[in-house]
């Protein structure tokens, strides 16, 4: 069971946030001039917390995740993961940070069709240079928890969309990362499946003790997180902490 | 639609220049290899033709001796024929000019008092610019007319003198005129020279003998007859009558027939080079195929859109093929100068082969007739369209809705891999069966088998890639992962593997063949070259039989204190049945002779015994070519007619593919008359070092034009000629490998482009750039290993074909199989290295894929 500490608010007062955005802006140049995608974003995600970001297409949601993952760099402001300023890290260091600290889930699953279900799950460990055999048990365990243990040898193309995303969640969790970033994880699924996949993901993240930031179009799904923010034209509005089942402010 | 193509061409090029450039490169290399060889082939015959035109252009026929020079007495017989308008004798010799470096002069002795017989003679009219005077040709000793080009190069003027030798005879010649032979015969050699026939015979040759009699026939039928008949027809009639009148030792040929003879002489050499250049072209087709396919895949949605807007399948096919043809035109434009460069950079080595082995004229300049341009255009355009045909057909056949969705070619080829492999097996089995039951006796059957092999190899590559890569266990993100990924893009990787396998099979097959052949020749020389020192004259290279060593010199060498025994050799070209062979006479009475001949058939002692009594030993190529063997009779044309010699043995011989026969010195004298030797072999007294004696003899005979070579040096020189002969082959191998390396680069570039989302995923999951780089280098290496594996199999089969089928059919040599391991290992390592180098650029590009690319599209 993951530890839940800190309140659902912008700027935690105790402990180091897993990821922190401090007045972050991202501006892209295009043929027609400059385009500001994120404007002065402040955000802190404490260990074990789940955060959702809701916004329309083009509002800057994916850019926010890319900055958190170190895939992209901020034009202004500071993005830190586990207290490390990403701007000060080399590409290789950011890659290693992503490898060891972050797990990612994508809208289109991004599973490799030439690998089996289990091989897709152990892919991060392959990349990290570990022995995939040692991680088989861990992969099997995760697949069992998402109800796909009997499909581990199947080709990925035999799975339904919901099943594929569950495999992608297992892959993201394989190396027990401190932070999971999910970009529209249910954007390619029907409503019923979306709900069940999201709940499953939240449950697993909670069990693993990881933090989670996910972006979504759906207000309903966004409300499942500890904190939910709205992003509009690159501006992140203040979040709304959620009450847990026991009525405690999380 | 073509207008659409023209409007969008530049935009498409800018989007993917490398794909277009690689297509152009594939066409260019294919065109270059074929053109280079065709220019060389053409030039080899052209050089011979140039001499014929310069000397005998006004002649309709030439009367030639089948077994060497003719007596001058044939001239009255020729002139007596009623169809002969005029006839004049020609004496031909190769004299070595003492210069630095020394060179050979193609000297023609002519009757210069009859100037109307040659077009260039008309220039001698005084008062004309560049006029020259031939009137001194008879009166001034040593008078010679040389080409203007040679005079300029040597700094000669009228009156300049220089030393020449023919055999051991030496003479001083004086430049009497400088003639622009090239003006009348553009292909003629700059080393062509003309002197009065009597002077040529007296100073350097033999009086009373001529090499040919040129004949001009009456254009209006026979002398005094009414009406006319075509010149060619009249010539045929006269030729037949002259052959009947002069007997079997003489042949009467037109200029074209003589040229055909030269072409036939070089036939096997030219055919083999052509075949190899076509393999390079074949490898180039894969590059065109891959690049066209990649280019089409990239523009798949564009084609879908065009089809949706009403473009027909035929229009789409036309657009794609027109684009390929346009790239073909660019490839031809690039390939032509490269081909010319290939030919010019190999001119010297091919010229050496042509003169050393085939005894034809030296090639000085390259011939590039207009029809070669047409050939280049058809090869380039045809190759480009052929290479693009399958991808274009595939693209044009698809429905618009299929074109607008994700590409599924991999799926199709994965399913057809088994069928393609089955087709390959069928082709091989069919070709093998055909050979065993029907094709064995047909000379080009080896090439049919070679084509079947080279067609089957590419068809096997998808199955090989699939079997090797598809089921590999996943053990890490390293080479195994790279290999497994190769199986995913079967359409592209199999094509690159196929291209490489064809190039490797050519490399391995030819290396094995050349290595085996070289070693066989080395072993053969070990056995046959047993004397300590070999002596010949500098001019022996050309007209071998007439470059003789004077009897006085032979005697002084025989009595030299270092010499225990002297072996003499005389040789000449003659005709046996339908074969032009060389026949040599040697001293078979010397002891130890039985060990000198490696016999394929016959007992050494019995064979020598029989040969001493007038029998002949024949070479393996002659035995194979003529179907003769032990106990049969060898028909030999001699000056007096034809004789038959019993065959006492068949010996291994690698000196002449045309065939050779060996008789005792005395038998040779009986057949061709007594005469001096052209070569000597010295056996030294025990304890003497050959190298030291060579130095000593060189000093003692410094004033005589003689070549002294120790046993070791002679072997080295022979192997040098051997290596020169295969120099062009090496170049063609290199070109094929270059194309194959390009195919690897191209494939990886395509993969890096098409698998961009996958690469981005790896990056998002924490893969370092170095890891992606490693994966792509691994893919390059993987393709190289697979290409090598398939290529080695193909190479072994090709080597077997070359050694046991093609070589025997065309050259008639027994080549023992030897494994040039060191060369093969170096080549294999070189290919692996080249593949890795070819993979570096695409790997770097792949490694720079940012994780943000993941968001672009679906995987």
A69 at B interface, C-beta within 8 A? yes
Position B792 pLDDT exceeds 90: yes
Question: What is the per-residue pLDDT for B209?
Answer: 86
Give Dmax over CA atoms of chain B in angstroms: 102
Q: How far is CA B667 from CA A81, B115, B338, B646, in A?
A: 101, 42, 53, 12
Q: Is B143 helix (H, G, I), strand (E, B) or coil?
A: strand
- Of A23-32, B91-100, B279-288, B454-463, the least confident: B279-288
Of B256 and B694, the structure prediction assigns the larger pLDDT to B694
| pLDDT, tens digit (0-9, with 9 covering 90-100), for B835-846 | 888 889 889 988
Which pLDDT band, with edges at 50, 70 and 90, does B809 fall under?
confident
Position B44 pLDDT exceeds 80: no
Question: What is the per-residue pLDDT for B643?
Answer: 92
Please tell me what DSSP assigns to residue A249.
B
Question: What is the per-residue pLDDT for B408?
Answer: 47
Position B119 pLDDT exceeds 70: no
Please state the pTM of the whole predicted model. 0.77
Question: What is the per-residue pLDDT for B224?
Answer: 46
- Rounded to whole angstroms, the Cα distance separating B274 from B278 reads 6
Of B436 and A187, the structure prediction assigns the larger pLDDT to B436
What is the residue extent of each domain of chain B?
68-248, 422-529+715-859, 540-704
Position B411 pLDDT exceeds 60: no
Q: Where are the alpha helices (DSSP H) in B247-312?
A: 255-265, 267-298, 300-308
Instruction: Please state the rounded mean pLDDT for residues A56-62.
Output: 85
Position B600 pLDDT exceeds 80: yes
SS3 content of chain B, % helix, strand, coil (to 5): 60, 15, 25
- Of B14-28, B79-93, B214-228, the least confident: B214-228
Q: Which residue has the tokens 């390959």?
A: B424
B761 at A interface, C-beta within 8 A? yes
H or E element, residue B708: strand B707-710
Question: What is the per-residue pLDDT for B430?
Answer: 95
> Measured in Å, how far apart are chain A's first and last C-alpha atoms?
15
| pLDDT, tens digit (0-9, with 9 covering 90-100), for B138-160 | 778 889 999 888 999 999 988 89
Position B425 pLDDT exceeds 90: yes
Nearest to A62 among B476, B768, B855 (CB): B855
Question: What is the per-residue pLDDT for B578?
Answer: 81
Position A202 pLDDT exceeds 50: yes
Preceding peptide of B349 cis, ω within 30°: no
- B693, B532 Cβ separation under 8 angstroms: yes
Question: What is the per-residue pLDDT for A6?
Answer: 33
Position A13 pLDDT exceeds 70: no
- What are the residues facing B179 on neighbouring strands? B147
- What are the residues facing B804 on neighbouring strands? none
Chain A: closest CA distance from residue B840 (Å):
20
- B492, B294 Cβ separation under 8 angstroms: yes
Range 472-491 of B in CB contact (< 8 A) with A: 474-477, 481, 484-485, 487-488
Chain A: closest CA distance from residue B305 (Å):
25
Which pLDDT band, with edges at 50, 70 and 90, does B855 fall under?
low
- Rounded to whole angstroms, the Cα distance separating B765 from B644 reads 87
- B52, B192 Cβ separation under 8 angstroms: no
Query: What phi and psi, each to the nearest 5 degrees, are found at residue B627?
Result: 75, 15
Position A21 pLDDT exceeds 90: yes
Q: Is A6 helix (H, G, I), strand (E, B) or coil?
A: coil
Nearest to A72 among B481, B771, B852 (CB): B852
Question: What is the per-residue pLDDT for B27?
Answer: 85
Q: How far from the centroid of its chain's Cα atoms is residue B737's Cα?
A: 19
Which pLDDT band, with edges at 50, 70 and 90, does A180 fall under?
very high
Position B286 pLDDT exceeds 60: yes
Which pLDDT band, with edges at 50, 70 and 90, does A214 fall under?
very high
Of A229 and B37, the structure prediction assigns the larger pLDDT to A229
Question: What is the per-residue pLDDT for B120?
Answer: 64
**Three-class HEC string of B335-386:** HHHHHHHHHHHCHHHHHHHHHHCCCCCCCCCCCCCHHHHHHHHHHHHHHHHH
Q: Tally the C-alpha atoms within 13 A of residue B25's C-alpha that lie toward its C-beta.
A: 20
- Rounded to whole angstroms, the Cα distance separating B817 from B814 reads 9
Position B507 pLDDT exceeds 80: yes
A170 at B interface, C-beta within 8 A? no
- B681, B569 Cβ separation under 8 angstroms: yes
Q: Which of B511, B503, B505 is nearest to B792 (CA)?
A: B505
Question: What is the per-residue pLDDT for A244?
Answer: 45
Please report the DSSP string for A61-85 in residue order.
HHHHHHHHHTSS--SEEEEEETTEE
Chain B: closest CA distance from residue A246 (Å):
36
Range 187-246 of A in CB contact (< 8 A) with B: none
Chain A: closest CA distance from residue B345 (Å):
49
H or E element, residue B461: helix B445-469
Q: Which of A71, A107, A177 to mutate to test the interface with B (most CBs of B within 10 A)?
A: A71
- Rounded to whole angstroms, the Cα distance separating B827 from B821 reads 10
C-alpha dihedral, B825 to B828 to B830 to B833, nearest 10°? -130
Q: Is A187 helix (H, G, I), strand (E, B) or coil?
A: coil
Instruction: Please state the rounded mean pLDDT for residues B580-587.
Output: 89
- Rounded to whole angstroms, the Cα distance separating B367 from B45 reads 10
Nearest to B766 among A98, A110, A111 (CB): A98
Of B270 and A50, the structure prediction assigns the larger pLDDT to A50
- A170, A137 Cβ separation under 8 angstroms: no
H or E element, residue B194: strand B192-196
Contacts of B485 in chain A (CB under 8 A): 114
Bridging pattern class, strands B660-664 and B616-619: antiparallel
Q: How far is CA B373 from CA B38, B47, B326, B508, B728, in A?
A: 11, 20, 16, 32, 21
- Rounded to whole angstroms, the Cα distance separating B402 from B404 reads 5
| pLDDT, tens digit (0-9, with 9 covering 90-100), for B659-703 | 899 999 999 999 998 888 988 989 899 988 999 999 999 999 888
Contact B766 A95 (CB under 8 A): yes
Other Cβ atoms less than 10 A from the Cβ of B326: the count is 18
Chain A nearest-CA residue for B853: A71
- B387, B289 Cβ separation under 8 angstroms: yes
Of B519 and B267, the structure prediction assigns the larger pLDDT to B519
- Extract the tokens encoding B565: 């025994």
Contact B851 A115 (CB under 8 A): no
Please tell me what DSSP assigns to residue B115.
G
Contact B474 A111 (CB under 8 A): no
Question: What is the per-residue pLDDT for B693?
Answer: 92
- Rounded to whole angstroms, the Cα distance separating B369 from B227 reads 37
Which pLDDT band, with edges at 50, 70 and 90, does A246 fall under?
very low
Q: Which residue has the tokens 């140049």?
A: A29
Position B437 pLDDT exceeds 80: yes
- B777, B840 Cβ separation under 8 angstroms: yes
- A205, A176 Cβ separation under 8 angstroms: no
A128 at B interface, C-beta within 8 A? yes
Bridging pattern class, strands A179-183 and A102-105: parallel
Chain B nearest-CA residue for A99: B766
Q: Which of B24, B31, B40, B735 is nearest to B376 (CA)?
A: B31
Q: Is B178 helix (H, G, I), strand (E, B) or coil?
A: strand
Position B429 pLDDT exceeds 90: yes
A89 at B interface, C-beta within 8 A? no
- B443, B400 Cβ separation under 8 angstroms: no
Position A161 pLDDT exceeds 80: yes
Instruction: Please state the rounded mean pLDDT for residues A122-127.
Output: 88
Position B550 pLDDT exceeds 50: yes
- Of B228-242, B425-439, B447-461, the least confident: B228-242
- Rounded to whole angstroms, the Cα distance separating B233 from B648 reads 44
Of B311 and A166, the structure prediction assigns the larger pLDDT to A166
The crossing angle, in degrees rounded to 10, of helices B445-469 and B409-434 is 150
Question: What is the per-residue pLDDT for B789?
Answer: 93
Which pLDDT band, with edges at 50, 70 and 90, does B342 fall under?
confident
Position B510 pLDDT exceeds 90: no
Contact B852 A66 (CB under 8 A): yes
**Average pLDDT, rounded, for chain B:** 83
Which pLDDT band, with edges at 50, 70 and 90, does B594 fall under?
low
Contacts of A91 in chain B (CB under 8 A): 769
Instruction: Please state the rounded mean pLDDT for residues A114-137.
Output: 83
Instruction: Please state the rounded mean pLDDT for residues B812-823.
Output: 87
Question: What is the per-residue pLDDT for A108?
Answer: 83
Most confident residue range from B256-265, B537-546, B595-604, B708-717: B708-717
Contact B859 A129 (CB under 8 A): no
- B812, B719 Cβ separation under 8 angstroms: no
């Amino acid at each position: 069971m993951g530890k839940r500490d800190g309140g659902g608010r912008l700027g935690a007062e105790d402990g180091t946030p897993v990821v922190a955005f401090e007045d972050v802006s991202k501006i892209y140049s295009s043929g027609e001039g400059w385009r500001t995608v994120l404007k002065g974003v402040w955000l802190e995600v404490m260990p074990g917390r789940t955060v959702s970001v809701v916004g329309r297409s083009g509002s800057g949601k994916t850019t926010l995740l890319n900055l958190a993952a170190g895939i992209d760099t901020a034009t202004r402001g500071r993005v830190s993961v586990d207290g490390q300023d990403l701007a000060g890290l080399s590409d290789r260091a950011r890659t290693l940070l992503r490898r060891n600290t972050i797990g990612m889930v994508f809208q289109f699953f991004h599973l490799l069709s030439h690998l089996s279900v289990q091989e897709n799950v152990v892919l991060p460990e392959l990349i990290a240079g570990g022995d995939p055999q040692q991680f088989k048990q861990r992969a099997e365990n995760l697949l069992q928890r998402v109800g796909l243990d009997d499909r581990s040898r199947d080709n990925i193309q035999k799975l339904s969309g919901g099943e594929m995303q569950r495999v992608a969640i297992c892959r993201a969790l394989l190396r027990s990362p401190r932070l999971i970033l999910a970009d529209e994880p249910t954007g390619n699924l029907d409503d019923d499946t979306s709900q069940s996949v999201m709940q499953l993901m939240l449950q697993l993240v909670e069990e693993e003790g990881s933090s989670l930031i996910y972006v979504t179009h759906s207000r309903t799904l966004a409300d499942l997180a500890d904190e939910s923010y709205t992003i509009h034209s690159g501006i992140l509005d203040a979040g709304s902490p959620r009450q847990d089942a026991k009525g405690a402010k999380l | 639609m073509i207008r659409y193509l023209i409007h969008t061409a530049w935009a498409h090029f800018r989007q993917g220049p490398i794909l277009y450039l690689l297509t152009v490169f594939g066409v260019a290399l294919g065109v270059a290899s074929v053109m280079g060889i065709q220019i060389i082939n053409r030039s080899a015959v052209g050089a011979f033709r140039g001499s014929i035109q310069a000397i005998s252009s006004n002649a309709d026929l030439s009367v030639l001796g089948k077994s060497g020079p003719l007596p001058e007495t044939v001239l009255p017989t020729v002139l007596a024929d009623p169809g002969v308008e005029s006839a004049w004798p020609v004496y031909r010799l190769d004299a070595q000019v003492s210069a630095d470096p020394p060179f050979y002069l193609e000297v023609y002795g002519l009757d210069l008092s009859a100037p109307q017989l040659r077009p260039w003679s008309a220039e001698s009219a005084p008062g004309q610019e560049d006029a020259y005077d031939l009137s001194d040709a008879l009166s001034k000793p040593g008078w010679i007319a040389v080409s203007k080009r040679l005079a300029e190069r040597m700094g000669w003027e009228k009156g300049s003198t220089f030393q020449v030798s023919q055999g051991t005879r030496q003479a001083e010649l004086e430049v009497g005129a400088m003639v622009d032979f090239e003006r009348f015969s553009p292909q003629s050699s700059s080393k062509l020279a003309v002197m009065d026939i009597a002077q040529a015979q007296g100073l350097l040759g033999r009086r009373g003998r001529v090499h040919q009699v040129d004949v001009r026939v009456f254009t209006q039928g026979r002398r005094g007859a009414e009406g006319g008949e075509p010149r060619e027809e009249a010539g045929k009639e006269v030729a037949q009558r002259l052959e009947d009148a002069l007997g079997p030792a003489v042949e009467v040929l037109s200029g074209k027939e003589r040229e055909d003879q030269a072409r036939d002489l070089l036939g096997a050499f030219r055919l083999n080079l052509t075949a190899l250049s076509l393999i390079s072209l074949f490898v180039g087709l894969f590059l065109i195929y891959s690049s066209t396919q990649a280019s089409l895949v990239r523009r798949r949605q564009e084609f879908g859109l065009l089809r949706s807007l009403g473009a027909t399948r035929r229009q789409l096919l036309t657009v794609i093929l027109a684009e390929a043809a346009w790239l073909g035109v660019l490839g031809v434009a690039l390939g032509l100068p490269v081909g010319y460069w290939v030919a010019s950079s190999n001119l010297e080595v091919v010229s050496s082969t042509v003169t050393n082995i085939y005894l034809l004229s030296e090639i000085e300049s390259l011939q590039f007739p207009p029809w070669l341009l047409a050939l280049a255009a058809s090869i380039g355009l045809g190759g480009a369209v052929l290479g693009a045909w399958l991808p274009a057909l595939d693209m044009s056949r698809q429905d618009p809705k299929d074109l607008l969705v994700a590409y599924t070619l991999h799926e199709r080829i994965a399913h057809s891999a088994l069928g393609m492999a089955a087709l390959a097996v069928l082709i091989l089995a069919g070709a093998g069966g055909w050979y065993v039951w029907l094709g064995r006796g047909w000379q080009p059957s080896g090439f049919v088998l070679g084509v079947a092999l080279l067609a089957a190899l590419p068809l096997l590559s998808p199955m090989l890639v699939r079997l090797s890569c598809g089921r590999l266990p996943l053990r890490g993100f390293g080479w195994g992962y790279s290999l497994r990924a190769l199986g995913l893009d079967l359409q592209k990787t199999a094509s690159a593997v196929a291209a490489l396998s064809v190039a490797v099979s050519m490399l391995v097959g030819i290396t094995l063949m050349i290595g085996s052949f070289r070693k066989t020749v080395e072993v053969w020389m070990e056995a046959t070259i047993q004397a300590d020192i070999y002596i010949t004259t500098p001019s022996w290279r050309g007209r071998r039989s007439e470059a003789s060593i004077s009897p006085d010199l032979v005697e002084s060498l025989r009595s030299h204190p270092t010499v225990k025994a002297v072996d003499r050799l005389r040789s000449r070209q003659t005709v046996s049945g339908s074969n032009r062979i060389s026949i040599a006479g040697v001293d078979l009475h010397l002891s130890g002779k039985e060990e000198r001949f490696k016999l394929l058939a016959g007992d050494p002692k019995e064979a020598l015994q029989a040969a001493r009594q007038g029998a002949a030993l024949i070479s393996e190529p002659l035995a194979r070519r003529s179907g003769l063997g032990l106990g049969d009779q060898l028909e030999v044309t001699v000056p007096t007619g034809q004789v038959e010699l019993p065959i006492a043995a068949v010996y291994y011989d690698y000196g002449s593919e045309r065939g050779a026969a060996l008789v005792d010195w005395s038998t040779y004298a009986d057949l061709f008359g007594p005469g001096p030797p052209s070569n000597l072999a010295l056996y030294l007294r025990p304890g003497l070092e050959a190298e030291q004696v060579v130095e000593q003899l060189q000093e003692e005979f410094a004033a005589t034009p003689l070549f002294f070579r120790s046993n070791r040096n002679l072997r080295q020189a022979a192997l040098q000629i051997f290596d020169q002969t295969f120099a062009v082959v090496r170049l063609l191998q290199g070109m094929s490998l270059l194309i194959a390396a390009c195919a690897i680069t191209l494939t990886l570039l395509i993969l890096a482009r098409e698998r961009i989302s996958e690469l981005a995923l790896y990056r998002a999951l924490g893969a370092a750039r170095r890891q992606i780089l490693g994966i792509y280098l691994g893919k390059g290496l993987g393709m190289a290993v697979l290409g090598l594996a398939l290529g080695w199999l193909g190479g072994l089969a090709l080597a077997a074909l070359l050694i046991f089928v093609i070589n025997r059919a065309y050259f008639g040599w027994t080549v023992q199989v030897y494994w040039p391991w060191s060369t093969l290992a170096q080549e294999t390592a070189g290919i692996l290295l080249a593949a890795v180098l070819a993979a570096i650029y695409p790997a770097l590009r792949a490694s720079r894929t940012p994780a943000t690319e993941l968001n672009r599209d679906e995987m």
